[in-house]
Structure 1
Amino acid sequence: MKRPGMPNPDPATFIKANLPISPVPSIPEIRLHQAGPASGLWRLAGRGEADPPPYWTYPWAGGVVLARHLLDRPEMVNGRRVLDLGAGSGLVAIAAAKAGAATVTAIDIDANAIVAIGLNAAINGVKIVAWAADIIEEPPPATDLLVVGDLFYDPSLALRVMAFLRRCQASGIEVLIGDPERAYLPHDELRRIATHAVADFGGGSGGKAVPAGVFALSGDMWKAGP
């Protein structure tokens, strides 16, 4: 436990020293700073209620499946503006940039994740604009494609995210979701377009391979809605 009054370490310095660079399981084309058992993340992440958990330090299956899909199907992003919501380590954003996106923006609520995205983008030789923000109560962003990896692990967050994604779709933005079918994924509002077996370090799976899906929002609900 961090002692009261101890200053937080510089995030970039800490990440470089304690999160070694290694290929992402299932995606050897991309290397990231990733946490291990001895990373000492408690020294970087705060312990207050407002401090977000350091989800960005591990590759979650929802992000991994999206990254794999975009690298295998570069025509989905080539020449387009892409925004990665809840970007974490920047894995999906990096994949989009490698696949030929015109511009890539990565957004996460955790300022430490934003630092990691900058470092990871440099490792992989791509350019990403990243900032810390919560935009899901805001108007739809200026983008062509919105990618969302693994944001359906919490019931209240899932509801907020889906409301935002519906607004984005209504404004003409294409939405792609990557998820290993966690508890709060709204299946009845989605259309599966691909499935890949990928490693997952989230949800207590300990890095085992799990079947994860790539989903689009169903267009039928817009025809039936008010």
Structure 2
Amino acid sequence: MTTPVPDSLVRIIKHMNPAAGISAQALPQCPDISLWLVEPDSMRRRFSQDEILQIQSYPAYWAFCWASGQVLAREILRHPHWIKGKKVMDFGAGSGVVAIACVMAGAREVIACDIDPDALISCEENAALNGVSFRCHGDLFSFDEELDLLIAADVLYDRANLVLLEEFLKCAPDVLIADSRIRDFDYPPYVAQGRHESCTVPDLDELDEFRLVNLYRGQR
């Protein structure tokens, strides 16, 4: 039986493009996880100037599984000892893919954090789709509980966000970052943990350089 698309996601995807649709899509690198994502066909056509401006004003990041998120979710499922028994925050959670992987890997507790309220709706619906549960929170800087690990994927798309690296280590003694944007990354105590090839789902035909995802770990 096909799971109906949640009304909440149908409603909010229209903020990006009234013609856009949502469907459950399995992730090629994490086949055990499916997400409610924007329909590929609705993004594969020529857009009018007005449509482009609307997409730019509301890009609906939560409606895509970005390359960094897919890599981080896959690596967590491959290395559950990173997560097992820990209290983890997925910062900039978007679709919630990494939070879902953390629950599957045996985390003691998972918090999906995103400042976009629509992303938190997406997180809740994607958790339900995968039969898991976690908490949602809207603001890292108002979160005053102790964490064992903070995880963030694809949040360094703007170099101004690099200041977050220091803030993350104030919030948790162990931080795991996945990023495909920053070149010449040199931010001690963060140390490179490997590079992986991936893609965004649906595939946006991004430049090859954005398909290479680097993992970094920082500890205090």
TM-score w.r.t. the length of structure 2 is 0.76
Q: Decide whether the 8 Å contact of 2:198 with 2:212 is kept in 1.
A: yes
- Pick the aligned partner of 1:64 from 55, 64, 70: 70
Alignment of 1:135-174 (within 5 A): 135=140, 137-138=141-142, 141-159=145-163, 161-169=164-172, 173-174=173-174
Identity level (%): 31
Find the aligned partners of 1:202 and 1:150 in 2 and give their Cα distance: 16
CA offset at residue 140 of structure 1? 6.1
Find the aligned partners of 2:55 and 2:65 in 1 and give their Cα distance: 24
Runs of 4+ deviating beyond 4 Å: 46-49, 137-141, 201-205
Find the aligned partners of 1:204 and 1:192 in 2 and give their Cα distance: 26
**For residue 213 of structure 2, what is the aligned residue in structure 1?**
212
Q: Decide whether the 8 Å contact of 2:9 with 2:122 is kept in 1.
A: yes
**For residue 117 of structure 1, what is the aligned residue in structure 2?**
123
SS in structure 2 at match of 1:126 = coil
Are residues 20 and 108 of structure 1, via their aligned partners in 2, closer, same or farther at CA, if it must alter by over 3 Å? same
Structural RMSD (CA): 3.2
Query: Structure 2 counterpart of 1:64, which letter?
Result: Q
Find the aligned partners of 1:163 and 1:110 in 2 and give their Cα distance: 22
CA offset at residue 86 of structure 1? 0.3
Q: Decide whether the 8 Å contact of 2:27 with 2:201 is kept in 1.
A: no
Alignment of 1:1-226 (within 5 A): 11-14=8-11, 18-35=21-38, 36-38=40-42, 53-131=59-137, 133-135=138-140, 137-138=141-142, 141-159=145-163, 161-169=164-172, 173-180=173-180, 182-183=181-182, 186-189=185-188, 190-200=190-200, 205-206=205-206, 210-217=211-218
Query: Structure 1 counterpart of 2:148, which letter?
Result: D
Identify unmatched segments of 5+ residues in structure 1.
Answer: 1-9, 40-45, 220-226
CA offset at residue 198 of structure 1? 1.6
CA offset at residue 25 of structure 1? 2.7
Identify unmatched segments of 5+ residues in structure 2.
Answer: 1-6, 14-19, 44-52
Are residues 140 and 213 of structure 1, via their aligned partners in 2, closer, same or farther at CA, if it must alter by over 3 Å? farther
Residues 127-186 of structure 1: CA deviation (Å, up to 9, x unaligned): 11113x232x45764211100101111122222x123123235xxx21000112x13774
Find the aligned partners of 2:55 and 2:101 in 1 and give their Cα distance: 33
Q: Decide whether the 8 Å contact of 2:147 with 2:171 is kept in 1.
A: no
Q: Decide whether the 8 Å contact of 2:179 with 2:215 is kept in 1.
A: yes
SS in structure 2 at match of 1:151 = coil
